[in-house]
C-alpha cells in the first residue's frame, strides 16, 4: 500500500515537471543570475545563545486541512521577523499545502533573514527553482530520496542552498550522518502515516547533536514549553508553523517562543590531521580521536597523493571521520574530478581562490589564510567569504612568503594577537602546532579545531 510520502513524491515529480515546462530555460537562467546572493542559513541559527525560531508560512497541510488560506506571505513574514524569528520557512508545494514559488519569492524580497524552501524535493531542477525564487536553504527528506541523499546535498551546495536534511527515525539519521549532513531537521511526524512520536524525536535530536550537526526540531512545537523541551534535548532551532499561522498576533506569538537558552555543550576543539599517504597511519589517527583526515592534492607538494590513493585511505576510515582534500589554485574541473574519484567530504583551498570560486566548489570549503606574527585577523578579507566557506584555516605568514605560495609553514602563530577570536567565524588553527604547545593554543583561543601536520611527524 502506497503511503503519503510515496504518493506525494509521484505527484510532486509531475507538478515540478509541469512548472518547469512553463519556465523557459533562458528565463530560469536570468532569474538565477538576478536573484540576491544567498544568506548564511546555518549561521543565523547559531549566532546567539538562545534557541532560534524558524517561523513557517503555510496556508494548509494534509493533516490539519485549511489553516490560513488567505494569508499574505509578506505581511506574515515581516511580522515573524519583527517578533524575533531567525529565519523564515516557506511552503512551495501547491496542492496539499497551498504554497507556491511566488510566495517564496515575495518573502525573500520582503525580509533580510534567510529563507528555507519547504517542499518535497524530487530533482535538481527543483533545487534550481528554489534558488531562482530567492531561497537560501532547502529541505531534503531522507525518507524520500534515500541513498541519493549525498548527490542532492552536493547539488544544493553547488547551487548556493544550505541543505536541511529531514529525518524521522534512527535509520534515516544514520543515512544523514553517513552523508555528513551539516543541518539535520528531526520531524516527529511520520510522513507515510502522519503519526507523531515526540519522545522518540527528543532521542533523535540528542543523537544528531552528538554528531556535531546543527539540529532543528521540525514539528510538534506550539508553545514555549515545547521549545524548552527541544532545547533540553539539544536542539539549536525549532521550526514552527501551524500555531503561528493561526495566531491573531503572529509577531507576539513568535516573541513568546524566543529567548529559550540553548543547551550548553562542553567546548571541544576538533582535531584535523593532514598530509596522510598511508591508510594504516590514517586509521591509527582516527582511532585516537581525530575528527578529520586530510590528504594533499596540491601539485608539487611532497605529500601529494593521487585520487586512487586517497580513496584507499578514505575507504578504511570509521564513519563520522571527515575526509578533507587539500588543493591550491586548481581549476574547478580538476577539483570536481578528484572529489568524484576519492570520496572527499570537504575541500581545503590554499591558493588565491576568490569567494566566487569557493562558492562554485561542490563541497563545503575551508579557506586558508595567512597572518603575520603580531597581526590581527584580516576580518574584512574574511567577511568577503561569508557566503562561500564554512571555516577558515589560519596559518602563519613568514618573511619568505611570496604571492601564491602554498602549503603550511610550520611556524607558530602569535596567539595573543589573535585573541579573542571573533564570534560566528569558525577558525581552524594551524601553524607549528605540536603536542607540547597545542594545549596552550586551545586555552588561549578556543578555536573550532586545530590542524596539525609537520609538528607531529
Residue 430 per-residue DSSP state: -
Question: Are residues 396 and 412 in contact, defined by beta-carbon separation less than 8 angstroms?
Answer: yes
Choose the catalytic residue: 291, 345, 395, 451: 395
Q: Which residues of 109-132 are buried (b: 16+ CB within 10 A; e: fewer)?
A: ebbebbbbbbbbbbeeebbbbbbb
Cis amide bond preceding 420, omega within 30: yes
Find cell 575551508 and name the residue: 366
Question: Are residues 131 and 109 in contact, defined by beta-carbon separation less than 8 angstroms?
Answer: no
Nearest 5 degrees, angle CA 345-CA 160-CA 15? Answer: 110
Q: Return d(Cα 274, Cα 302) in angstroms, integer.
A: 13
Residue 375 per-residue DSSP state: P
Residue 286 CA from chain centroid, whole number = 23
How many alpha carbons lie under 13 Å from residue 369 in its C-beta half-sphere? 23
Q: Return d(Cα 86, Cα 115) in angstroms, integer.
A: 10
Question: Are residues 424 and 391 in contact, defined by beta-carbon separation less than 8 angstroms?
Answer: no
Choose the catalytic residue: 87, 90, 138, 274: 274
Q: Return d(Cα 168, Cα 221) in angstroms, integer.
A: 15
Asked if 395 is an active-site residue, the reply is yes
| Three cell numbers, residue 16 | 515540478
Question: Are residues 382 and 392 in contact, defined by beta-carbon separation less than 8 angstroms?
Answer: yes
Q: Choose among 189, 222, 225, 224: nearest CA to 204.
A: 189
Beta bridge partners of 239: 54
Q: Return d(Cα 310, Cα 304) in angstroms, integer.
A: 10
Question: Are residues 206 and 225 in contact, defined by beta-carbon separation less than 8 angstroms?
Answer: no
| Three cell numbers, residue 122 | 524530487
**Residues noted as catalytic:** 274, 395
Amino acid at each position: 500500500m502506497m503511503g503519503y510520502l510515496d504518493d506525494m513524491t509521484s505527484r510532486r515529480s509531475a507538478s515540478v515537471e509541469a512548472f518547469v515546462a512553463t519556465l523557459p530555460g533562458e528565463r530560469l537562467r536570468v532569474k538565477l543570475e538576478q536573484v540576491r546572493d544567498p544568506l548564511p542559513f546555518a549561521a543565523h541559527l547559531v549566532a546567539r545563545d538562545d534557541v532560534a525560531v524558524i517561523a513557517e508560512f503555510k496556508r494548509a497541510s494534509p493533516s490539519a486541512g485549511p489553516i490560513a488560506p488567505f494569508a499574505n506571505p509578506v505581511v506574515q513574514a515581516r511580522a515573524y521577523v519583527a517578533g524575533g524569528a531567525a529565519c523564515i520557512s516557506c511552503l512551495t508545494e501547491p496542492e496539499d499545502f497551498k504554497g507556491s514559488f511566488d510566495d517564496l519569492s515575495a518573502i525573500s524580497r520582503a525580509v533580510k533573514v534567510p529563507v528555507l524552501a519547504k517542499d518535497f524535493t524530487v530533482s535538481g531542477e527543483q533545487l534550481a527553482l528554489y534558488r531562482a525564487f530567492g531561497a537560501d536553504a532547502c529541505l531534503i527528506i531522507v525518507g524520500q530520496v534515500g541513498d541519493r541523499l549525498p548527490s542532492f546535498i552536493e547539488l544544493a551546495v553547488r547551487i548556493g542552498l544550505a541543505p536541511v536534511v529531514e529525518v524521522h527515525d534512527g535509520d534515516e539519521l544514520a543515512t544523514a550522518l553517513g552523508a555528513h549532513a551539516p543541518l539535520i531537521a528531526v520531524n516527529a511526524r511520520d510522513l507515510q502515516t502522519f503519526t507523531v512520536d515526540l519522545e522518540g524525536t527528543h532521542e533523535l535530536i540528542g543523537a544528531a547533536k552528538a554528531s556535531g550537526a546543527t539540529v532543528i526540531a521540525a514539528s510538534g512545537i506550539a508553545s514555549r514549553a515545547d521549545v524548552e523541551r527541544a532545547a533540553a534535548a539539544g536542539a539549536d532551532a525549532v521550526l514552527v508553523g501551524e500555531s503561528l499561522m493561526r495566531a491573531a498576533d503572529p509577531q507576539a506569538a513568535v516573541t513568546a517562543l524566543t529567548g529559550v537558552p540553548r543547551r550548553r555543550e562542553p567546548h571541544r576543539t576538533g582535531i584535523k590531521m593532514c598530509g596522510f599517504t598511508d591508510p594504516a597511519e590514517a586509521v591509527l589517527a582516527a582511532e585516537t580521536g581525530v575528527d578529520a583526515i586530510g590528504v594533499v592534492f596540491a601539485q608539487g607538494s611532497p605529500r601529494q597523493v593521487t585520487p586512487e590513493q586517497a580513496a584507499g585511505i578514505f575507504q578504511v576510515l570509521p564513519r563520522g571521520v571527515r575526509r578533507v582534500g587539500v588543493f591550491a589554485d586548481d581549476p574547478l574541473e580538476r577539483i570536481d574530478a578528484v572529489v568524484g574519484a576519492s570520496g572527499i567530504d570537504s575541500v581545503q583551498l590554499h591558493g588565491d581562490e576568490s569567494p566566487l570560486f569557493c562558492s562554485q566548489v561542490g563541497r563545503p570549503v575551508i579557506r586558508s589564510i595567512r597572518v603575520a606574527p603580531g597581526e590581527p585577523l584580516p576580518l574584512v578579507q574574511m567577511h568577503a567569504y561569508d557566503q562561500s566557506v564554512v571555516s577558515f584555516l589560519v596559518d602563519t605568514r613568514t618573511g619568505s612568503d611570496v604571492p601564491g605560495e602554498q602549503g603550511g609553514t610550520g611556524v607558530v602563530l602569535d596567539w595573543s594577537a589573535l585573541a579573542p577570536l571573533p564570534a560566528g567565524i569558525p577558525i581552524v588553527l594551524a601553524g607549528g602546532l605540536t603536542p607540547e604547545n597545542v594545549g596552550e593554543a586551545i586555552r588561549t583561543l578556543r578555536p573550532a579545531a586545530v590542524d596539525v601536520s609537520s609538528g607531529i611527524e
